[in-house]
Amino acid sequence: MAKRVGMEVSIAAAEAVKQANVDVISAYPITPQTHIVEHLSEIVANGEMDAEFFCVESEHSAMSICIGSEATGARSFTCTSAQGLALMAEMTYIASGLRLPILMIVANRTLSAPLSIWNDHSDVMMIRDCGWVQYFVENGQEVYDHVFISYRLGEDRKVLFPVIINMDGFVLSHVIEPIELIEQEKIDQFLPPYQPLHQLHPDKPITMGAFALPAIFAETKKAQEVALRGAMPKILEVWKAFGDMTGRYYHPVETYKAEDAETLLVTMGSIGETASVAVDQMREEGRSVGLVKIRLWRPFPFEALKQATLHAKNLVVIDRAVSVGGPGGPVASEVKAAIYGEPIRPSIYNFAAGISGRDVAPFDFIKMIDKAEIEIEEGNKEGFEIYGVRE
Amino acid sequence: MMENLNVFAVRTLTQKEYFAPGHRSCQGCAEALAVRLVCKALGRNIIIAAATGCMEIVSSPLPFTSWRVPWFHCAFENTAAVASGIEVGLKVLMRKGRIPQKKIVTVGMAGDGGTADIGLQALSGALERGHDFIYVCTDNEAYMNTGIQRSSSTPFGASTTTSPAGKTKMGQITWKKNMAAIAAAHNIPYVATACPSYPMDLIQKVKKAADIKGAAYLHILSVCPTGWRSAPDLSIKLGRLAVETGTFPLYEVEHGRYHLNIDFPKLKPIKEYMKLQGRFRHLTEEMIEEIQARINHDYEQLRERDKRGF
Ligand SMILES: Cc1ncc(C[n+]2csc(CCOP(=O)(O)OP(=O)(O)O)c2C)c(N)n1
Ligand code: SF4
Ligand SMILES: [Mg+2]
């Protein structure tokens, strides 16, 4: 039987990396990702896991080592946050361009300046278009589960993409939660050893990382775009298989009391759990509100999002990052793009909330919904604001 | 004697080419020659991690490749880290029995820019971690791929597109970074300098580097007629002059012990080397003297190290 134990989410993530039989781990410490690397180095030092662990001299090299090891056919893992992710940004594009199914956990944290170690999504939004599959998880169990899901998906020969699991820094990384650990035999069945399609080896010499002239580059970009979009059925299939094994079924977009709601909150990441508390409170007061949570960020689930939202009158989209000088928050941009072509579509009001770790409590969601409903009523149908700023 | 050995012994080398002909380097490119010789020395059981730069661009326009050995280009500044990853990947896969046990040499290859400037951090990390690999820096003394810009390996006085000779400045105003010494300071088992004008010496050093367990660093002076503004048919001669003038001495540092491979009792004047290169054309007599003094000093220092052994 699966065991349910209380543990820090970072430790659960490290345990999952162990259970996934990762071959190479290469990382550089940064708050709030540190506990994952620390625990992994302990696991390897204790001989609980047969892997090569390298605490290297920078995140740029951490990702570069993963790129090199993955190219030989070794299952590779790294994790980082904020400045570290920024430093490896260049490499994230190369990893996906070369179709290397590395797994990276990002313990999301604010990008400087001002320097801040607290949680929001500004780090990963910087590399939004890097061509990785990207999940946003809501709790520790989802982090743990998605380590296996990610490798099974990324390494599938019909997919071959690196995967990012976004988990909110501190809010998830440093809290203790009950985690249901899966038996090793089940994991080994779900996730057999990686069988690369191509690997660097003298017995079959290949060239990887050739350069492309304009006459051929567009074709390579299209191939990548088609493949990442085309990964959607596999994403669903892997989630289904995982659900059949554990009873925990995941979907690109989750809804909560949304079917008949006039106003829908749209969230991504761990604030979804708090938002559901707000929805319950408002429902008790007779308000017609519900919740839509985005779990899959790339490839973006346009269809699922439409299905979940088109019936509503108002969407209140909560972003955890700001596209400075741009259209507001990145999630709202995607939601708008998803429903733009529909003849009848809800109005959208966009808040950036919980910027750099500012608390977002249930009453904050209620305030945001109140404000959005009034604004939309008054004709401001595409508004954006940063919530809770002291002026 | 050395001269003759080099001329005839080359014919004993394998005819096999792993860096295939037909690549797009300029006429007289000694960097391409260096790479070709390194590959000949190592044979087929290698994996190359290459940096962005001339050698990458001339050899890998999709969908073509000049590489008959596994070759991986990732980016400009992380060659040593990528090579580390390859070495580690092979090691763990062999240990776990997922690929057969066999000796495969991992080689990192980068230019002077990719080594001494932007790639220095990744290189230092890889040398410090002690990966079992060879790092080859092909030093043509500037960023040639992007149009002859200065690097920290460009010699004092050389005119490049970003250290031009003008009314107030006479080309590069800093002295060439001593990369081999920096590599040796990491206490790795093997460091050597080489030049394709001395092919047998180069090949022996590459083979030695491959046999040694741990990290080995090779710094190869690679004449670039395009960037040095020299005649393409003079590349071999220029490499020899670089050595004969003491500008680029050939030596090894084995477990910290210095050994000068070819010592000249009397060095040729550097003017003989410089006058064949357009990049030094603007230099005044005083500047050449200043450079000569520095070269004499550095060479003397190296000689002493050779005598002392460290
Ligand atoms: C991060 C980054 N910065 C700049 C460049 C542009 N760039 C590509 S190759 C190169 C110079 C290469 O010089 P070197 O390493 O000496 O090799 P060479 O071409 O001279 O053989 C530069 C500046 C790049 N590709 N990546
Ligand atoms: S520019 Fe110099 S190094 Fe580059 S291919 Fe031409 S000769 Fe060789
Ligand atoms: Mg160069």
Q: Which CATH number covers residue A17?
A: 3.40.50.970
The answer to whether residues B151 and B141 touch, using CB atoms and an 8 Å cutoff, is yes
Say yes or no: A278 and A198 in one domain.
no
B122 phi and psi, to 5 degrees? Answer: -65, -40
Quick one: pLDDT band at residue B7, thresholds 50, 70, 90? low
Strand, coil or helix: what is B247? coil
| Domain end residue (candidates: A246, A274, A294) | A246
Spell out which residues of chain B touch residue A65, defining contact as CB-CB under 8 Å.
Answer: 81-82, 84-85, 88
- Please write the tens of the pLDDT for every residue from B135-153: 999 999 999 999 999 999 9
Say yes or no: A226 and A286 in one domain.
no
Per-residue pLDDT, averaged over A328-347, amounts to: 97
Strand pairing category for A176-181 and A3-8: antiparallel
> Residue for token digits 């006429």?
B27
pLDDT reported for residue A1: 62
Q: For residue A292, how many other CB atoms are within 10 A of its CB? A: 26
User: Judging by beta carbons within 10 Å of its beta carbon (0-12, 13-18, 19+), is residue A212 exposed, middle or buried?
Assistant: middle
Residues B160, B150: Cα–Cα separation, whole Å: 6
Looking at per-residue pLDDT, the higher value among A317 and B8 belongs to A317
User: Torsion-angle region of residue B62: left (phi > 0), alpha (psi -120 to 50) or beta?
Assistant: beta
User: Judging by beta carbons within 10 Å of its beta carbon (0-12, 13-18, 19+), is residue B4 exposed, middle or buried?
Assistant: exposed
The amino acid sitting at A365 is F
Say yes or no: A182 and A300 in one domain.
no
Cβ of B93 within 8 Å of Cβ of A23? The answer is yes
Q: For residue B247, how many other CB atoms are within 10 A of its CB? A: 22
Q: Which two tokens stand for residue A98?
A: 């070369």
Candidates A269, A259, A274, A280; CA nearest to A319 is A269
- Please write the tens of the pLDDT for every residue from B234-270: 999 999 999 999 999 999 999 999 999 999 999 999 9
Residues B293, A72: Cα–Cα separation, whole Å: 49
> Residue for token digits 């570290």?
A84
Which residues contact ligand 1 via a Cβ below 6 A?
B 31, 52-55, 76-77, 110-114, 140, 143-146, 151
Spell out which residues of chain A touch residue B67, defining contact as CB-CB under 8 Å.
Answer: 205, 207
- Report whether pLDDT(A21) > 90: yes
> Residue for token digits 């940064």?
A30
pLDDT reported for residue B1: 46
pLDDT reported for residue A391: 87
Ranges of each domain in chain B? 24-308
Q: Which two tokens stand for residue A223?
A: 């191939």
How many CB pairs (< 8 A) connect A and B?
A: 168
Percent of chain B with pLDDT over 70: 97
Average pLDDT, chain A: 97
> Residue for token digits 């920290």?
B152
Q: Which two tokens stand for residue A125?
A: 């939004």
pLDDT reported for residue B10: 74
Say yes or no: A272 and A379 in one domain.
yes
* DSSP per residue, A203-227: TS--EES-B--HHHHHHHHHHHHHH
CATH of domain B24-308: 3.40.50.970
Percent of chain A with pLDDT over 90: 98
Candidates B66, B105, B100; CA nearest to B87 is B105
> Is the link from the previous residue into B196 a cis peptide, with omega within 30 of 0?
no
pLDDT reported for residue B91: 98
Q: Which residue of B has its CA nearest to A23?
A: B92
Residues B212, B188: Cα–Cα separation, whole Å: 10
Residues A322, B143: Cα–Cα separation, whole Å: 38
The answer to whether residues A109 and A125 touch, using CB atoms and an 8 Å cutoff, is no
Spell out which residues of chain B touch residue A212, defining contact as CB-CB under 8 Å.
Answer: 61-62
Say yes or no: A95 and A128 in one domain.
yes
- Please write the tens of the pLDDT for every residue from A108-151: 999 999 999 999 999 999 999 999 999 999 999 999 999 999 99
Quick one: pLDDT band at residue A276, thresholds 50, 70, 90? very high
Q: Which two tokens stand for residue A160?
A: 């071959």
Strand, coil or helix: what is B242? helix
Candidates B50, B111, B113, B58; CA nearest to B82 is B50
pLDDT reported for residue B6: 59
Q: Which residue of B has its CA nearest to A208?
A: B72
| Domain end residue (candidates: A218, A246, A274) | A246
Helices and strands: H and E segment counts in chain B: 12, 8
- Where b means 16+ CB within 10 Å and e means fewer, B250-272 reads bbbbbeeebebbeeeeebeebbe
The answer to whether residues A293 and A328 touch, using CB atoms and an 8 Å cutoff, is no
Quick one: pLDDT band at residue B309, thresholds 50, 70, 90? confident
Per-residue pLDDT, averaged over B195-223, amounts to: 97
Q: What's B11-26 look like in SS3?
A: HHCCCCCCECCCCCCC
B62 vs A90, A98, A216: nearest CB: A216
> Is the link from the previous residue into A114 a cis peptide, with omega within 30 of 0?
yes
| A140 occurs within a structural domain | yes
Strands (E), chain B: 46-50, 71-73, 105-111, 134-139, 190-194, 216-221, 251-254, 257-260
The count of domains in chain A is 2
Q: Which residue of B has its CA nearest to A206?
A: B70
Whose atoms come closest to the Cα of B59: which ligand? Answer: 2
Domain containing residue A127:
3-246
User: Judging by beta carbons within 10 Å of its beta carbon (0-12, 13-18, 19+), is residue A75 exposed, middle or buried?
Assistant: buried
Quick one: pLDDT band at residue A273, thresholds 50, 70, 90? very high
* DSSP per residue, B105-145: EEEEEEEHIIIIITTHHHHHHHHHHT-S-EEEEEE-SSBTT
Say yes or no: A226 and A322 in one domain.
no
ipTM above 0.90, yes or no: yes
Candidates A110, A105, A137, A111; CA nearest to A34 is A105
| A391 occurs within a structural domain | no
> Residue for token digits 């004969």?
B244
Residue B119 CA, closest ligand 1 atom number: 15
Say yes or no: A239 and A282 in one domain.
no
Angle in degrees, CA B93, B99, B101, rounded to 5: 95
Say yes or no: A198 and A299 in one domain.
no
Residues B187, B182: Cα–Cα separation, whole Å: 10
Which B-chain residues 47-86 have CB contacts (< 8 A) with chain A?
47, 49-50, 56-57, 60-65, 67-75, 77-78, 81-86
The answer to whether residues A347 and A313 touch, using CB atoms and an 8 Å cutoff, is yes
| A347 occurs within a structural domain | yes
Say yes or no: A222 and A353 in one domain.
no
| Domain end residue (candidates: A246, A277, A306) | A246
B180 phi and psi, to 5 degrees? Answer: -60, -40
Residue B55 CA, closest ligand 1 atom number: 21
A287 phi and psi, to 5 degrees? Answer: -80, 145
The answer to whether residues A120 and A356 touch, using CB atoms and an 8 Å cutoff, is yes
User: Judging by beta carbons within 10 Å of its beta carbon (0-12, 13-18, 19+), is residue A286 exposed, middle or buried?
Assistant: exposed
The alpha carbon of B146 and the centre of ligand 1 are apart by a number of angstroms equal to 6
- Greatest CA separation found in chain A? 70
Say yes or no: A169 and A288 in one domain.
no
A158 phi and psi, to 5 degrees? Answer: -85, -5
pLDDT reported for residue A3: 86
- Report whether pLDDT(A226) > 60: yes
Q: Which two tokens stand for residue B265?
A: 């009792």
- Report whether pLDDT(A167) > 90: yes
Average pLDDT, chain B: 96
Quick one: pLDDT band at residue B3, thresholds 50, 70, 90? low
Per-residue pLDDT, averaged over B107-131, amounts to: 98
The answer to whether residues B195 and B252 touch, using CB atoms and an 8 Å cutoff, is no
Say yes or no: A261 and A380 in one domain.
yes
Say yes or no: A128 and A267 in one domain.
no
Enumerate residues 6+ apart whose C-beta is below 8 A from A371.
A349
